[in-house]
Amino acid sequence: MSQIEELQRRITAALDRIGQGLDEVAPGGGADAGEIDALKKELEDEKLVSAQLEERLKAVSQKQRERAEAEDAARAEQADALRKLDTELQSLRKANQQLRDNNKALREANEAGVAEPHLINKSMLAELEGLRAARAADRAEADVVMADLGRLISGAATVEPSQAEDA
């Protein structure tokens, strides 16, 4: 980017010098037509180079905007995945706490010699819920990892062509 700005500065300075030279040379004055034609040709060449540099600058700016938009989208996607993971982990913690409470009640009933089938059923249901919550948390974590890997892979694919352009 700084190279483009430097080239644009140099072109502008050259155009200014050419313009000053044309102002000093009066038509039909001391300068011959060949010299004036050469200066005009040089001026047109510099204008062409300047236009090309402006187009390159526009293209680079567009690429930067697209890259920033893609990064924003990736951040939003990652934030959503992390929210989902957090929700699943909270569910897992709740299910595990419920399982611990049910197991404690079952142990106490067993120590008292009272067989309560509803406590056993409740404990088994809590254990199943804990397993489901653990699976959902694992799945959410895997989704976060996959999203990050996908972003890294797509980022690596876009970096390689742009590095080739810079070289």
**10-53 confidence digits (pLDDT tens):** 888 888 888 777 666 655 555 577 888 888 898 898 889 889 99
Report for 22-31, 65-74, 92-101: range of highest mean pLDDT: 65-74
Tell me the C-alpha distance between 135 and 141, whole Å: 10
In 3D space, the residue among 95, 92, 96, 100 whose CA is nearest the CA of residue 136 turns out to be 92
Does the reported pTM lie above 0.85?
A: no
Give me the DSSP letters along 61-98. Answer: HHHHHHHHHHHHHHHHHHHHHHHHHHHHHHHHHHHHHH
Domain assignments of the chain as residue spans, ordered by start: 2-166
Tell me the C-alpha distance between 29 and 112, whole Å: 122
